[in-house]
Amino acid sequence: DNGRGLPNITYNGELFLDSATFQDRWVKDMPRTHLEAQSLNVHVLNPSIKPTAGMKKKDAARNMSLIVQVSGSMRIGQPKEGPLRGFSDSFVLVPNEELGKQDVGRQWLIQSQTFRFVV
């Protein structure tokens, strides 16, 4: 629960209450895909998420959100044949505040993501 009563994951209009359920659906139902990224852009979205007073230098250096934009072509169903279609993907990355000792775990987490496939 994200504390706001909003869904964490919505895919093609379907609400998934947890990531495990979404991953299970993805693995079982998604056809094989082939992606060719042709453009990748990363920009600082918010240079200071929280006040930096009292933060460790290492944490202050990562105190930002990033927007990542990827576009290219993809093929669904067949890895080597079939038509290539355009796609674009945009997601916002934020630092993982729950890293374990010695920074064990993922450094960044996806806060939001929007994927578009051109049919």
Q: How far apart are CA 9 and CA 21, in angstroms?
A: 10
Residues 70, 3: Cα–Cα separation, whole Å: 30
Listed in sequence order, the DSSP H helices in 32-113 are 57-61
**Architecture field, domain 32-117:** Roll (3.10)
In the chain, residues under CATH classification 3.10.450.50 are: 32-117
Sequence-ordered alpha helix ranges (H) in 1-119: 19-29, 57-61
| pLDDT one-digit tens code per residue, 16-36 | 888 888 899 989 988 888 899
Of 19, 29, 6, the closest CA to residue 109 belongs to 19
The segments of the chain whose pLDDT lies below 50 read 1
What pLDDT shows up at residue 100? Answer: 65
Rounded to whole angstroms, the Cα distance separating 76 from 80 reads: 10
